[in-house]
Amino acid sequence: MRKSTATDASSSVILAVESSCDETSAAISKNGEILSNIVATQAVHENYGGVVPELASRAHQQNIVPIVHQALQKANITKTMLNAVAYTQGPGLLGALLVGSSFVKSLAWGLQIPLISVNHMQAHILAHFIESPRPQFPFLCLTVSGGHTQLVVVRDYLAMEIIGETMDDAVGEAFDKIAKLLGLPYPGGPHLDRSAQQGNPERFSFPATSMPELNFSFSGIKTAVLYFLRDQLKHNKQFIEENLSDLCASVQSTLISMLLEKVEAAASQTGIREIAIAGGVSANSGLRSQLQVLATQKQWQVYIPKIEYCTDNAAMIAMAAHYQYLAGLTDTLAVSPNPRLKFGSENND
């Protein structure tokens, strides 16, 4: 239930909370400047090879009070100085989202200040406005994370349009699932990246699926790797150990070429030359360096976030909340989280 509130643009001190998946995070922003950003990563999931939703909710419950306390303390801000509180409304795990939303709603009620609901995927993109250099509008953003792969035209802080997305798995999911097949610990993406840096990307060849228009598909490569490994392991039980870095480099290079092919097509279709990447997979060293190379060839201006702002964090939620606050976009306490929240959808009713 979104409402329009007259907000004081000259003063926006916002506490933002992120709890959509397995990171509990709180940040404070003042007039769009991030004063603190505390992130607690939940190690409990490592034992299960993936995020266990029930355990994520319990860990958020344990973490949220100390994390918010630390964020306030580091920013040297007291609760009474806050002008608004913000939280991730979705997309994400419902139980995890409920912890953040309930906590923040109680604060909004107790302090009698506005509540701001933020779309997590829009926030990943707005992480680019935390620090300079900031992209110029309109820019193209390739958002690549654990749950999403999207090509977005960003016309303004709050005006974004998805022009391409995955039809099945997200690229982060492909990284993680293939890493698991290779026996790497969870979350596999960063481990696969590290091993790929020592390997030969041309040693093995995996099929790069190309979907119509600006869409992606990552389920085929996962199955191709599964069958390839199964066949190789029949002849040599040590195949993975003996070839790990070449396997990682070959998989990573195929995934990156699938991503960059569509970025190139989107840039040519839209004529936009300001190109950004966002989300957890934008921490990938190969994607970062290959995008730079392509940008030099194409004369694009590229924007690559600092590693700490690639994966989930509350600073990006605070940034999105700052622009929503300036636009007077706040919510009533009747709002609730939406695990499948879409861009531009009017909350969750």
Ligand X SMILES: Nc1ncnc2c1ncn2[C@@H]1O[C@H](COP(=O)(O)OP(=O)(O)OP(=O)(O)O)[C@@H](O)[C@H]1O
Q: Is residue 169 at the binding interface for ligand X, with CB under 6 A as the rule?
A: no
Could you tell me the sign of the dihedral formed by the alpha carbons of 165, 166, 171, 172, in that order? positive
Touching ligand X, residues 42-71 (CB under 6 A): none
Query: What sign for the dihedral angle of Cα 271, 311, 105, 337?
Result: positive
Per CB under 5 A, the segment of 183-191, 292-300, 308-316, 321-329 that binds Mg ion is 308-316
CA–CA separation, 151 and 140 (whole Å): 7
Which residue of 145, 166, 195, 243 would you call a contact of Mg ion, by CB under 5 A?
A: 145
DSSP 33: E
How large is the angle between the packed helices 53-75 and 94-111, nearest 10 degrees?
40
- Paired residues of 165 in beta bridges: 150
Q: Is 12 in the site for Mg ion (CB under 5 A)?
A: no
Cβ distance to ligand X smaller for residue 140 or 310:
310
Q: Is 23 in the site for Mg ion (CB under 5 A)?
A: no
User: In whole angstroms, how far apart are CA 324 and each of 118, 213, 329?
Assistant: 8, 32, 5
Size of the site for Mg ion (CB under 5 A): 2
Q: Of 312, 317, 329, 330, which lies in the binding site for Mg ion, with binding defined by CB under 5 A?
A: 312
CB 210 within 8 A of CB 301: no
Q: Identify what 176 binds: Mg ion, ligand X, none; CB under 5 to 8 Å per kind.
A: ligand X
- Secondary structure in 3-state letters for 277-307: EECHHHHCHHHHHHHHHHHHHHCCEEECCCH
189 in contact with ligand X (CB under 6 A):
yes
Nearer to ligand X, 91 or 201 (CB): 91
Q: Which amino acid is at 197?
A: Q
Q: 7 or 20: whose CB is closer to ligand X? A: 20
For ligand X, the closer CB: 31 or 217: 217
Which one of Mg ion, ligand X, none is in contact with 284 (Cβ closer than 5 to 8 A by kind)? ligand X
**Residue 164 binds: one of ligand X, Mg ion, none (C-beta under 5 to 8 A by kind):** none
In order, the DSSP letters of 146-189 are SS-EEEEEEEETTEEEEEEEBSSS-HHHHHHHHHHHTTPPSSHH
If one asks whether residue 145 binds ligand X (CB under 6 A), the answer comes out as yes
Is residue 21 part of the contact set for ligand X (CB under 6 A)? Answer: yes
- Which of these ranges, 71-79, 125-133, 277-285, 293-301, lies near ligand X under the rule CB under 6 A? 277-285
Cα 349 to chain centroid, rounded: 24
- 3-state class of 30 per DSSP? strand
Binding residue for ligand X, selected from 283, 304, 314, 316, defined by CB under 6 A:
283
Please report how close the Cβ of residue 183 comes to ligand X at its closest, in angstroms.
15
- Residues lying near ligand X in the complex (CB under 6 A) are found at 20-21, 91-92, 120, 124, 145-148, 172, 175-176, 187-190, 193, 279-281, 283-284, 311-312
